[in-house]
Amino acid sequence: MEQTADTVSLINVQPQPTLLQTTLQLVMAFGSVYTTTTISRVLVIIIAGNLMASTVLVPTPPIYSIAMHVGLECKCGTVCQCFDERRLSGICNNDFLDVTQVINGDPGFCIGSTTTFLTIERYALLNIPANWQFQWKRNGLNIWGANSVSYYPKKSGIYTCVVTNAIGCTKETNAIEITVYPVADIQIQSVAGTEICNGDSISLQAISTNSTDFIWYRNGISTGFMGNEFFAKQAGRYKALASTQYGGCEKFSNRITTTVFTSTATAVGSTNICKDDSVLLQATSNGQPIQYQWIRYSQVIPGANTDQLFASKKGRYRVVITSSENCVDTSNGILVTSNCRIADFTNTNGDDVSIYPNPTSGNFEIQIEGIYRKTDEIAFLQYTDPIGKILHTTTIQFDDSGIAMCNAPTSLSKGMYILLIQYGELRFKSKIFIIP
């Protein structure tokens, strides 16, 4: 078997140069005179720790020799100033681009926040050249469209930026880790409907997978109550503000509108009824009623179990309503009286009342037959013209014999008038003639 010798090649890999700018003391010869001076800007190239070359970067007198201090160490931001690569061309070195990534704001923030952003700056506080290019990365992958000097992160990850100068030199910056926290996940629900029985409460509960703190609101105003369960006693619009354990990330829940079941009684018409009259009482509620029961004073009215009642007796009426949520509420009271207005009288027989003298020039008496006598009860007396216009109203009182003494108003001129008399639950109508 034929053997061949392997060819061995020696490859010398030089480390990438380190470029620094510093202030050095130089010994320069001008003819036969040596002088020591300080040059403020010198480019120093060091390979593997050995000084390889240096270049004065500002105009100086002719330099014949340069003596440099052995063991020179230079760090940006201390003795040295970082070098401005615009004074060189054709040299690419990562350390040459003195750029860094800095964060403005908190590295951990809630999703949707725009208060934190990343930006590129230079160690020497020099301006960023307008012809530099930028490519931001998240977790090592390019972010599409992220090519500005600053970037607002929207997702958690490790961010860097590749900076390219005008001659194609590139450097990837230091990494900054960003954590974007989710907002609170919050829903509220009612355990037993949204109707509150009068004087009672219902339970509202907050449900969340990442929230531990809740503040309850009613009609947009904080109730001051904190916890995952709230007992609502009033009608209103309720919601909860939840915050996470990551330092906020607040969010409002859905809204629940509650009502307090109440019943109301209203009168359709005058509540001052006359004999044989009635007034319609109407029951309403703000829920789903399934049962009605009318009461007069504290007594149940048999058969009065609809939303309407014709009240024909004086007294205080209420209605008790039961809702579909089994709430029971007693309405306000309506007082029905039987002192009807005299002006409402129509065709009442006047045979039971007599007026003497009639015609009269001033004083006269009114007498009601014995079956109607009610001693010491006040009666109302009204004078109207023949078409019903009220001209004068007064009160009279009957004695034990059922007679009341009256004086015709001096404001009435000669003529025929109608007397309307309200006496207890009774009403009477009669004519009277006034003469000079």
pLDDT at 373: 54
42-61 pLDDT, tens digit each:
444 433 344 444 444 333 33
Residues 176, 99: one domain? yes
Residues 381, 415: one domain? yes
pLDDT at 76: 33
pLDDT at 411: 86
Residues 320, 332: one domain? yes
Q: Report the C-alpha gap between 334 and 332 in whole angstroms.
A: 7
Residues 348, 418: one domain? yes
Query: Is 426 exposed, middle or buried (CB count within 10 Å of its CB: 0-12, 13-18, 19+)?
Result: middle
- Boundary of a domain, candidates 122, 154, 181: 181
Residues 142, 224: one domain? no
At 260, which helix (H) or strand (E)? strand 256-261
CATH of the domain at 284: 2.60.40.10
pLDDT at 338: 78
Residues 391, 323: one domain? no
Q: Report the C-alpha gap between 250 and 237 in whole angstroms.
A: 19
Residues 349, 424: one domain? yes
Residue 41 in any domain: the answer is yes
Reference 419, options 359, 370, 375; nearest CA is 359
pLDDT at 127: 81
Residue 347 in any domain: the answer is yes
- Boundary of a domain, candidates 120, 147, 181: 181
Any idea what DSSP says for residue 337? B
Residues 346, 430: one domain? yes
pLDDT at 410: 87
pLDDT at 93: 56
At 318, which helix (H) or strand (E)? strand 315-323
Q: Report the C-alpha gap between 368 and 89 in whole angstroms.
A: 131
Reference 313, options 330, 296, 300; nearest CA is 296
Instruction: Identify whether the C-beta of residue 316 lies closer than 8 Å to the C-beta of residue 335.
Output: yes
pLDDT in tens, the chain (436 residues): 444 445 544 544 434 333 343 333 333 333 333 334 443 434 444 333 444 444 443 333 333 222 232 233 333 333 333 344 444 434 455 545 678 889 999 998 888 888 899 999 887 667 888 889 999 999 999 999 999 999 999 999 999 999 988 878 888 889 999 999 988 889 999 988 899 998 899 999 999 988 888 999 999 999 999 999 999 999 999 999 998 877 678 899 999 999 999 999 999 888 888 766 788 999 999 989 999 999 999 899 999 999 999 998 989 999 999 999 899 999 999 999 876 544 444 434 445 678 889 889 889 998 876 545 555 667 888 898 877 788 888 888 877 777 888 988 888 888 889 888 887 667 788 889 888 7
Residues 407, 365: one domain? yes
Boundaries of domain holding 219: 187-260
pLDDT at 274: 72
269: left (phi over 0), alpha (psi -120 to 50) or beta: left
Residue 388 in any domain: the answer is yes
Q: Helix or strand or coil: residue 96?
A: helix
Residues 229, 159: one domain? no
Q: Report the C-alpha gap between 48 and 66 in whole angstroms.
A: 21
- Boundary of a domain, candidates 81, 110, 127: 81
pLDDT at 340: 53
Residue 292 in any domain: the answer is yes
pLDDT at 111: 87
Residues 367, 429: one domain? yes
pLDDT at 321: 96
Residues 116, 160: one domain? yes
Count how many domains the chain has.
Answer: 5
Q: Report the C-alpha gap between 418 and 388 in whole angstroms.
A: 8
The CA R_g of the chain, rounded to the nearest whole Å, is 52
Residue 378 in any domain: the answer is yes
CATH of the domain at 359: 2.60.40.1930
Residue 7 in any domain: the answer is no
Q: In this structure, which amino acid lies at residue 274?
A: C
Instruction: Identify whether the C-beta of residue 388 lies closer than 8 Å to the C-beta of residue 433.
Output: no
Residues facing residue 330 across a β-bridge? 320
Ranges of H-type helices in 66-204: none
pLDDT at 96: 56
Residue 2 in any domain: the answer is no
